[in-house]
Structure 1
Amino acid sequence: MSTDMSVGEALVHLLEAHGVEIVFGIPGVHTAELYRGLAASKIRHVTPRHEQGAGFMADGYARVTGRPGVCFVITGPGLTNTITAMAQARADSVPMLVVSGVNARSTLGRGQGYLHELPDQSGLIRSFAKASFTLTDASELAGTLARSLALAISGRPGPVHLEIPTDVMVARLPKAEMVAVEPAQPQTDAGALKAATALIAGARAPVILAGGGAIRADLSLRIFAERIDAPVVLTVNGRGLLADHALRVPASPSLAPVRDLLAASDLVIAVGTEFGPTDYDMYADGGFPTLRKLVRLDISEGQIGAGPEADVALVGDSSAVLSRLLDMLPETGGRNGAARADAARRAAMATLEPRVAGEVALLQRLYGATPHARFVGDSTQLVYAGNLYCDAPRPGHWFNAATGYGALGYVPPGAIGAALADPAVPVVAIVGDGGLQFSLGEIGVAAEERLDVVFLVWNNHGYREIETFMLDAGIAPVGVKPPPPDMALIAKAYGLGFRRAEDEAQLVEAVAVCARKGGAHLVEYAV
């Protein structure tokens, strides 16, 4: 580590030492000092067209890598522009570090009208982020940064904020060595493991629920499910687990046949799922069944306490705890798990409305035509259909912002972050014409960075899902028909390839051709 450098320069070098590869941000006068050492570093800087895009790019990057996505944003409006993305990351347990400026220490909290001033910037962020730290002493940079990065991935992952006053950014450091802080992980109670083992061994018809907290535990989950011969119901963020396995049920627990499977079970083992209504009560009908016995495994003790009461609570990392359970469980089987899973899959598909069933079939054709692609989605019809039923080919290859916080504008930047995280895998980004216009300018970043992203624009000329909801509720639709731009001209303006599809066969062909060709493309499907 070099000696005698500014805090801004030291921050960049320390981020590099922590293994940060990419920073997403838009420089401004309140963060220019953070950029002083960036050009000479190995860190790649990606410039979104809006700070919300920076946050969503960091989110997409983190979902693929499991490491915190890092943003640099300016004081005040730059940070508040990023709040929506941070809130989505908090809802979906996505690690993120947002580094912002803040005005000089002597001005904080005085309300004197300085540029970009907020009454209490850190207090605002603390209301929803895991933590917000203010670096008031330059000598504490290394330790504060290390704690911030560790906290983002400790326990239930989420966004962390670090603000640096403008006068601290320029302070000189005689030396700044990287500090290593290990992420805090809970120790699983031995008594709870023993109690869970007894319940599992005595169950005749167990079922597993697997959410986003299990997405990096595929092998352990697969072996565990086989050992106890249990169907595995996958929430939206768990899709792709147990791909092609006879025990998988890639259908929403909001569907009646999946609820019937759970109601008939004498033991449900929930792994890494918060039991949120956007997964478990999508239609807000209150019909999720009361479970007879429940074992909950989650990295967050607080999250276990927030959901349905568990007979046994296992706090810890999904993969580690499942492995310990496997060591304790006898060989079982004989519980007809594959047949129960098959029946649930068939019944779930049969219960879908014809339009939705057709869209699910279209998704499977798209997966078949682009077998290695990762699908990233926004709140639009095709994504809602996939959230009800989507048989993704591998973990982490189906995720979207239509659950949890449910922020529109996620897809263009989120898909870009995913493509940057794993350049060898093309991304199919599914977005409606309405949602696209929330962050339209970000598609230019995909072309600028030469990324393999196919933006599939589901063009139904407005906010069709909201229009349908209003009609069903007896409300005359207002404000749901913003006219879409000319997609061909948009693609040309931003330097993307363009194709228009008039039917599903053309759509599948267009997406497949663009994905094979590589680069950034926009494919419009006129619904």
Structure 2
Amino acid sequence: MNRESLNPERETPMTCADLLIRLLRDTYGVDTVFGIPGVHTVELYRGLAGGEGSGIRHVTPRHEQGAGFMADGYARATGKPGVCFIITGPGMTNIATAMGQALADSVPMLVISSVNRRDTLGRGQGRLHELPSQQQLIAGVARFSHTLLDPEGLPETLARAFAVFEGARPGPVHLEIPIDLFDAPVRTPRHWQRAALAKAAPDPVAIAEAGAWLADAARPLVLLGGGSVAAPEAARALVEALDAPAVTTINAKGLLGRDHPLDLGANASLPAVRELARDADVVLAIGTELGETDYDVVFDDGFTLDGRLIRIDVDPQQLARNQAADLALVADAGQALAALASHFKGTRLNRGGAERTRAAHEAMGLAEDPAFAAYVPLFDTLREALPEAILVGDSCATTYAANHLVAQPAPRRFFNASTGYGTLGYGLPAALGASLARPDLPVVALVGDGGVMFTLPELACAVEERLPVVILLWHNQGYEEIRRFMDDAGVTRLGVDLQAPDFLTVARGFGCAATRVAAPAELAQALSSRPADGPLLIEVDAAAWARAASPEFGPGA
């Protein structure tokens, strides 16, 4: 931090836009923003382009929804909030879907937008980009939405936003700034430093009670959600001390490390895991909302808990939803995991946890399940070629399979849009955000031919930013899952068999390398020769791949 530039004794003229950039960069450590400039945000870009604004990288998506998804991927890969600069009106309605996905999955995202002049707000004068109330429209997909009416209030508002990101259940925060405030003069703040925010610690008495319940349990089960990803060491220490099988949800995948003997994976919707859940006498659920898209993707309300339930969450309201707790602790998941791990330090209980987990995996038989036959060699090939890769999924067939089949070596290496809000178009731009956040790791986007057409122009951004992302495009001629639902419901197929472009020609038109594969060996070759300084689109012909991957054809084809 440049201390001289932040000296409150200096009387350097400063505008609201200058102050915003300097607070983001110097106080909150923001190094990347995603946005598309417009006539309403020109003054914001004056400070961002150079001088005091240098040091923040600006990435230009091709649509504001892409900006939101990129910020989401950046945040999930790092734990730091993704930041967007968005234009008034249509820019905000465009990003609302991405904010909805981030809200559902508790992803920290700061969306800073312009809004019309203060003296015109709510007057319906037909001004450029005008909405009756932009703030009210966006409030439904944000933890909070605030209209800045006095530039002197900017430091406090940003402090509130980062308090949500760091100390509460995170999610998107929206700050809108009227266009007449960007160049308004503002005094240098007296305090630039970021407040040291201690996360909510669990009540020691409640930890002792939870520890007693778990110590006395004969068949404990642990449910680890995405709120736990910041504490992998404590999570491993706890489940190993308890000798308890653990469900790691989609957003918690990799929390216990790859192929941990107590990890049941994100398989709570499968019969073998549900049987363990019903049989458990004490269940510990940490940092999970116990929601449908993690525990009931078959939509039959079949995930039930008959034993005593201990729930730990930073959001007290969440503790009253979905499953009634017998003991509820309001606390940061990482703090609670550390406290419980300390409570059981030096303890190694013997409840046959590894044997119960192994038996459940054998009963699931995922590798032999005909429904996954085509996907097993796909992910085996990816794991062999790119064992450390971050996998970012759209709502598509390969992602649904990966939720069950893929094991990752660490948290923040697997996330997708099949949870919570369940939007389409997420995979490609979110993978770009992850690649910008973690240039040290390979990134693979799992997309389908239907969903990728929502955000396909973001290939241009990938090329422009020279991001070495692999886009694995599963081409099954349309919306396969919806076709299946229509067939099962006896509804005539309509709107699900899509006309797709020649994806290779389109990708190459953007300057993106592209190839088509139909067998595991071809995929391995494509991955081994991927470019180091730009994206690669690999189109997989789903029908041809299924034939090549079948046992009769041979796995090496």
Do these two structures clear the TM 0.5 threshold for a shared fold by scoring above it? yes
Instruction: Write out aligned runs for 1:433-444 (5 A).
Output: 433-444=449-460
Q: Would the aligned equivalents of 1:24 and 1:47 in 2 still touch at CA under 8 Å? A: yes
Change (3 A) 1:425 1:162: same
Aligned-residue identity in percent:
49
Q: What is the deviation of 1:138?
A: 1.2
Equivalent position of 1:22 in the other structure:
32
Is it true that 1:190 corresponds to 2:204 in the alignment? yes
TM-superposed deviation, 1:483: 1.4
Per-residue deviation, residues 24-44 of structure 1 (Å, max 9, x unmatched): 000001111111111112100
Q: Does 1:265 align with 2:275?
A: no
2:391 match? 375
Secondary structure of 2:392's aligned partner: strand
Give the partner amino acid of 2:47.
G
Contact 1:251 1:348 (8 Å CA) reproduced: no
Q: Residues 39-188 of structure 1: matches in 2 within 5 Å?
A: 39-40=49-50, 41-176=54-189, 178=192, 180-183=194-197, 185-188=199-202
Q: Distance in 2 between matches of 1:508 and 1:299?
A: 43
> Which residue pairs with 2:529 in the alignment?
513
Which of residues 451, 458, 463 is equivalent to 2:467? 451
**Cα distance in 1, alignment partners of residues 256 and 525 from structure 2:** 28
In the other structure, the counterpart of 1:38 is 48
| Alpha-carbon shift at residue 48 of structure 1 (Å) | 0.3
Q: Answer whether contact 2:72 2:102 (CA < 8 A) is retained.
A: yes
Native 8 Å contact 1:130 1:152 kept in 2: no
Partner residue, 1:422: 438
> What's the C-alpha RMSD, in Å, of the aligned pairs?
1.7
Native 8 Å contact 1:378 1:411 kept in 2: yes
Matched with 1:523 is 538
Size of the aligned set, in residue pairs, is 526
Cα 1:356–1:300 shift into 2, 3 Å: same
Alignment of 1:327 with 2:342, yes or no, is: yes
Q: Counterpart of 2:265? A: 250
Q: For structure 1, which segment, 387-396 or 494-503, has the greater mean C-alpha deviation from structure 2 after superposition? A: 387-396
SS at match of 1:171: coil
- Uncovered stretches (5+) of structure 2, i.e. residues with no partner: 1-5, 543-557
Structure 1: give runs of 5+ residues left out of the alignment.
none
One-letter amino acid of the counterpart of residue 211, structure 2? T
**Which residue in the other structure is 1:230 paired with?**
244
- State how far apart, in whole Å, the 1-side matches of 2:365 and 2:315 are: 33
3-state SS of the aligned residue for 2:14?
strand
Post-superposition shift, 1:505?
Answer: 2.8
Q: Which residue of 2 aligns with 1:461?
A: 477
CA contact (8 A) 2:366 2:405 kept: no
- Separation of aligned partners in 2, 1:260 and 1:245: 20
**Equivalent AA in structure 2 for residue 38 of structure 1:** L
Deviation at 1:446, TM superposition (A): 1.0
CA contact (8 A) 2:71 2:430 kept: yes
Offset of residue 350 of structure 1: 4.8
Counterparts in 2 of 1:237 and 1:46: CA distance versus 1, 3 Å: same
Question: Is the alpha carbon distance of 1:182 and 1:151 closer, same or farther for their aligned partners in structure 2, counting shifts above 3 Å?
Answer: farther
CA 254–184 in structure 1, closer or farther in 2 if over 3 Å, else same: same
The 1-side partners of 2:255 and 2:201 are apart by 25
Structure 2 residue matching 1:167: 3-state secondary structure: coil
- The CA distance in 2 between the partners of 1:105 and 1:402, in whole Å, is 40
CA distance, structure 2, for counterparts of residue 260 and residue 391 of structure 1: 22
Q: Which residue of 1 aligns with 2:511?
A: 495
Residues 304-319 of structure 1: pairs in structure 2 closer than 5 A: 304-319=319-334
Q: Check the 8 A contact 1:251/1:258 in 2, yes or no.
A: no
SS of 1:416's equivalent in the other structure is helix
- Please say if residues 241 and 349 of structure 2, whose CA atoms lie closer than 8 Å, have aligned partners that are also in contact: yes
Greater CA drift, 66-75 or 359-368: 359-368
Q: Which residue of 2 aligns with 1:284?
A: 299
Structure 1 SS opposite 2:255: coil
Shift of residue 241, structure 1, vs aligned partner:
1.7
TM-aligned CA deviation for residue 395 of structure 1: 1.4
| C-alpha spacing 1:361/1:156, structure 2 compared with 1 (3 Å) | farther
C-alpha contact 2:199 2:335 (8 A) present in aligned 1? no
Question: Counterpart in 2 of 1:209?
Answer: 223
CA contact (8 A) 1:498 1:522 kept: yes
CA distance in 1, matches of 2:181, 2:320: 40
Contact 1:376–1:399 (CA under 8 A) maintained in structure 2: yes
Superposition map of 1:357-372 within 5 A: 357-372=373-388
C-alpha distance in structure 2 between counterparts of 1:183 and 1:114, whole Å = 41
| Alignment check: 8 A CA contact 1:409 1:438 kept | yes
Contact persistence 2:395–2:422 (CA under 8 A): yes
Listed one character per residue, the Cα deviations across residues 155-202 of structure 1 (whole Å, up to 9, x for unaligned) are 111000000001111101232452534447334223321210110110
CA distance in 2 between partners of 1:473 and 1:511 (Å): 39
- Measure, in 2, the Cα distance between the counterparts of 1:191 and 1:511: 53
Q: Cα 1:118–1:307, aligned 2, differ >3 Å: closer, same or farther?
A: same
State how 1:467-482 maps to structure 2 within 5 Å. 467-482=483-498
Q: Report SS of the residue matched to 2:522.
A: helix
Secondary structure in 2 aligned to 1:37? helix
Q: Among 367, 370, 388, which residue is 1:354 paired with?
A: 370
CA offset at residue 480 of structure 1? 0.8
Asked if the contact 1:295/1:310 (under 8 Å) is kept, the reply is: yes
Letter in 1 for 2:243: D
Is 1:404 aligned with 2:420? yes
Q: TM-score, normalised by structure 1?
A: 0.96
Q: 2:164, 2:44 → 1: CA distance? A: 22
Instruction: Give the secondary structure class of the aligned counterpart of 1:156.
Output: coil
Question: 1:65 Cα deviation (Å)?
Answer: 1.1
The separation in 2 between residues aligned to 1:303 and 1:99, in whole angstroms, is 27
Aligned equivalents of 2:129 and 2:13: distance in 1?
30
Task: Report if the CA contact (8 A) 1:364-1:391 is conserved.
Answer: no
Q: Kindly provide the amino acid, as one letter, of the partner of residue 149 in structure 2.
A: T
Contact residue 67 and residue 153 of structure 1 kept, 8 A: no
Q: Which amino acid aligns with 2:299?
A: A
Query: Which amino acid in the other structure matches residue 261 of structure 1?
Result: L
Aligned partners of 1:220 and 1:322 also within 8 Å: yes
Contact 2:86 2:112 in 1 (8 A): yes
